[in-house]
Structure 1
Amino acid sequence: MNRNHLTRAGVALAIVLFGLKLWASLTTKSMAVLSDALNSLLDIFSYSVIYVSVKIQHSQADKDHHYGHRRAEPIAGFVIAILAGILGASIIKDSFLGIFEEHSVFHNKIATAIVIFAIFSKLVIASLYKILAKRTNSPALEASYVDSRNDIFASSVALIGMLVGGYWDHIAGLLIGIWIIYSGISLGYKNLKYLMGHVPSIEIINSIKDESLKMPGVIGINDLRAHYVGDVVHVELHIEVDENLSVKDAHDIGIAVRDKIETLPMIQKAFIHIDPISHIV
């Protein structure tokens, strides 16, 4: 299954689960299940945004975007994080106020089956998101995986709250709200690093150094800079070559280093500067 099919499946599943959970919450009068239904309503919007961002991100570079549209998915992930924070705060407020009110939950076997179905369906789609996110290194699919994993927790807590009832139902809703905010903050921070041009991991930096120094004609390297442009990395590197080389030979070495670096995972573009130095054998 490719990412477009999977994101469409995520939207469809969110719509189905929202309808089922809303019915279950109205039938049982469960605040926890209602909170979970609102979480699924957020999923409808979130996965729709992700579907659009995936299509934009992989569209070709154009005259207005010379390096493509690699920030589309991190933007989608950051928007989802903000909405998660808003939803979580709303759920926390309603659940906290409900703790101090007398409240009864009406047990219903169909409603229970709906929440269990939601848990298992999210287990399946979360596994698919995780596999495809690792394969494609997609921030949007990773955001979908994190969100689906959170949904599993939220639905499990909602199930417990609905079955136990009383003020525990509101406490379950409170826990769901806190978890949604926490996951939103974590997701937002990670995607913000993509958008703000954060330095990549030390493993990526070391791989750039190692591969550059292996290239014939490269005596040394200096002034290595790298940063994220969306979910990919741009590199600026100064390589040191023998000052007695011709301009063409030095240029060819720079091209070879550039081509090699651009084959590394996560690297979209490398800019190589030639620094001639005295080379005493």
Structure 2
Amino acid sequence: MSGKHHEHVHAVVLDNLDSQGVGETSSSSNNPIAATETHHRATIPPPAGKDIEFQHNVSDPLNLSASLKLDSEIKANTSRKRVGLRKGNGLEKYYESQNQSIHAMLKSVDEHEQDKLDDHGKNTFLHALCVKGSLIANIFLSGLQMYGAVSSGSLSLFTTLADSIFDPFSGIMLYMAHRAVNKVDARKYPSGRARISTAGNIVFSFVMFSVSLVLIVMSARDLAADKEEETNKFHLPSVLAVAGAFATKLALFFLCWTVKDTYSQVDILWRDHRNDLFINGFGILTSVGGSKLKWWIDPTGAIVLSLLISGLWLHTAYDEFQLLIGVTADREVLQLITYISMTHSPLIERIDTVRAYYSGPRIVTEVDIVLDRNERVEVAHDVAEELQIKLEKLPSIERAFVHIDYETSHKPVSSLSPDTPNHVSLPYRSLPLFFI
């Protein structure tokens, strides 16, 4: 590529710096930038005998590696004297994120797949320990906290009990969901049953919200009653029981933290242990406060904890609803899909549209590619099929749909109804690749 060509590519991708959070990208027929202008390989005839698709000798056809920032460059560009402390920290994070995105795009699909397999293979024992250990511990701790709440009569400890007693059920539900996803009848569920865990989380969230409302009503009734005693009766064994549960949750928190980024199932458990640490700690403080300071501290603490629990579970339900209804994928995923599609075959002249959205815990992607209008049907089919197979090898992709077109003058077909606002369209020059 010539220096002039590199400047042209950089001008194309720099325009996307402000286009965060877009669920799809598309090209425009009015755009003067064609694929044959931005990467000359589209005009290179394939070798004899390999007219369907062939591997490029160039591992970095868009020269992305030239935009990687060395540690010395990042340090120089983010120095306090040059941009100030606050801006320097933000700029440093930006450069690090940019480097990670470029490294991800320069990896082959097979490398992405192998990295995921390696991570799962190395941490199989830790995964089993986190899931089964959390389940066994939650069953034991729910009994321990039940003793603490019943023996003391503390509403704060009853609130921690309500949260704790549902932990074994959530663990069992996660385990059953995992088995259901792995053992699926393809004829009955052609798209799989991965969304069963998402639906289960939504149901469980509203159950916990309902329990929290009951505890709020009980605590409010207790506050409305006029007690003659200044404080509640202090019961040391119940406090020690909940303190033991706190220590166990702390150990599980650190255990799950080691592999939470590898397994989504463990990440859910890690977040649950994190929430339980605060709930149990706050419950102990308000229970002891009601026994040693003022009686109303205990029911007030129960109300605060119940509001916190209901808020956390409503937020979880909202996040799961977003995945279920098809929220857009992260910007980094769109970048990777777009780059793989652009560099897949020299027969692809343009990328018309790229969509990526969640369908449960994993992503469905749609890519519209433009081939020569005179291309043979079998050639066009094989290019699209190979791209589909390649995209579906990515760990986060559940299904990929590749559509073939021969021009971009028409409006991309949308499945949305006429009453629904149409999708956002971006020109080819705004494809989600970015450099400085």
TM-score relative to the length of structure 2: 0.59
Q: Closer, same or farther in 2 for the Cα pair 1:64/1:127, shift >3 Å?
A: farther
Q: Equivalent residue of 1:199, what SS? A: coil
Aligned-pair CA distance for 1:249: 2.2
Q: Which AA in structure 2 matches 1:211?
A: I
Q: Alpha carbon RMSD of aligned pairs, Å? A: 2.2
Give the one of 36, 44, 48 matched to 2:172: 48
- Quick one: percent identity of the two aligned structures? 21
Q: Which AA in structure 1 matches 2:195?
A: R
State whether structure 2 residue 390 is matched by structure 1 residue 260.
Answer: yes
1:157 aligned partner: 282
Within 5 A, what are the aligned runs for 1:28-177? 28-101=152-225, 102=227, 104-138=231-265, 141-165=266-290, 166-177=295-306
Q: Closer, same or farther in 2 for the Cα pair 1:50/1:232, shift >3 Å?
A: same
1:184 aligned partner: 313
Q: Which AA in structure 2 matches 1:134?
A: D
Give the one of 16, 19, 22 matched to 2:146: 22
Q: What is the rounded CA distance, in whole Å, between the counterparts of 2:150 and 2:217 in structure 1?
A: 19
Q: What is the rounded CA distance, in whole Å, between the counterparts of 2:154 and 2:298 in structure 1?
A: 7
State whether residues 54 and 72 of structure 1, in contact with CA within 8 Å, keep that contact through their aligned partners in structure 2.
no
1:249-269 alpha-carbon deviations (Å, 9 max, x no partner): 222221222122223331121
Q: 1 or 2, which has the higher strand percentage?
A: 1
Aligned-pair CA distance for 1:113: 2.1
State whether residues 125 and 148 of structure 1, in contact with CA within 8 Å, keep that contact through their aligned partners in structure 2.
yes
1:206 aligned partner: 335
Aligned-pair CA distance for 1:168: 0.7
Q: Which AA in structure 2 matches 1:224?
A: V
Q: What is the rounded CA distance, in whole Å, between the counterparts of 1:129 and 1:190 in structure 2?
A: 21
Q: Closer, same or farther in 2 for the Cα pair 1:3/1:224, shift >3 Å?
A: same
State whether residues 224 and 236 of structure 1, in contact with CA within 8 Å, keep that contact through their aligned partners in structure 2.
yes
1:92-112 alpha-carbon deviations (Å, 9 max, x no partner): 111222223326433333322
Q: What is the rounded CA distance, in whole Å, between the counterparts of 2:387 and 2:214 in structure 1?
A: 53
Count of aligned residue pairs for this structure pair: 276
State whether residues 4 and 51 of structure 1, in contact with CA within 8 Å, keep that contact through their aligned partners in structure 2.
no
Q: What is the rounded CA distance, in whole Å, between the counterparts of 2:199 and 2:137 in structure 1?
A: 23
Q: Closer, same or farther in 2 for the Cα pair 1:2/1:61, shift >3 Å?
A: farther
1:155-195 alpha-carbon deviations (Å, 9 max, x no partner): 11111012111111111111110111111111001111222
Unaligned runs of 5+ in 1: none
Q: Equivalent residue of 1:125, what SS? A: helix
Q: What is the rounded CA distance, in whole Å, between the counterparts of 2:151 and 2:144 in structure 1?
A: 11
State whether structure 2 residue 401 is matched by structure 1 residue 274.
Answer: no
Q: 1 or 2, which has the higher helix percentage?
A: 1
Q: What is the rounded CA distance, in whole Å, between the counterparts of 2:185 and 2:281 in structure 1?
A: 43
Q: Equivalent residue of 1:135, what SS? A: coil
2:136 aligned partner: 12
1:251 aligned partner: 381
Aligned-pair CA distance for 1:82: 0.7
State whether residues 24 and 33 of structure 1, in contact with CA within 8 Å, keep that contact through their aligned partners in structure 2.
yes
Q: What is the rounded CA distance, in whole Å, between the counterparts of 1:57 and 1:127 in structure 2?
A: 28
State whether residues 61 and 67 of structure 1, in contact with CA within 8 Å, keep that contact through their aligned partners in structure 2.
no
Q: What is the rounded CA distance, in whole Å, between the counterparts of 2:171 and 2:203 in structure 1?
A: 11
- Mean Cα displacement is larger for which, 214-223 or 170-179? 214-223
State whether structure 2 residue 357 is matched by structure 1 residue 233.
Answer: no
Q: Equivalent residue of 1:67, what SS? A: coil
State whether residues 221 and 239 of structure 1, in contact with CA within 8 Å, keep that contact through their aligned partners in structure 2.
yes
State whether residues 143 and 187 of structure 1, in contact with CA within 8 Å, keep that contact through their aligned partners in structure 2.
no
- Mean Cα displacement is larger for which, 208-217 or 53-62? 53-62
Aligned-pair CA distance for 1:3: 4.9
1:66-104 alpha-carbon deviations (Å, 9 max, x no partner): 122111111121112111211111111112222233264
Q: Equivalent residue of 2:352, what SS? A: strand
Tell which structure's C-alpha radius of gyration is larger.
Answer: 2
TM-score relative to the length of structure 1: 0.89
State whether residues 32 and 162 of structure 1, in contact with CA within 8 Å, keep that contact through their aligned partners in structure 2.
yes
Q: What is the rounded CA distance, in whole Å, between the counterparts of 2:364 and 2:327 in structure 1?
A: 11
Higher relative contact order (CA 8 A, sep 6+): 2
Unaligned runs of 5+ in 2: 1-124, 409-436
Q: Which AA in structure 1 matches 2:365?
A: V
Q: What is the rounded CA distance, in whole Å, between the counterparts of 1:223 and 1:16 in structure 2?
A: 53
1:41-68 alpha-carbon deviations (Å, 9 max, x no partner): 2223222222211211222452111122
Q: Closer, same or farther in 2 for the Cα pair 1:34/1:152, shift >3 Å?
A: same
Q: What is the rounded CA distance, in whole Å, between the counterparts of 1:47 and 1:246 in structure 2?
A: 53
Q: What is the rounded CA distance, in whole Å, between the counterparts of 2:251 and 2:348 in structure 1?
A: 49
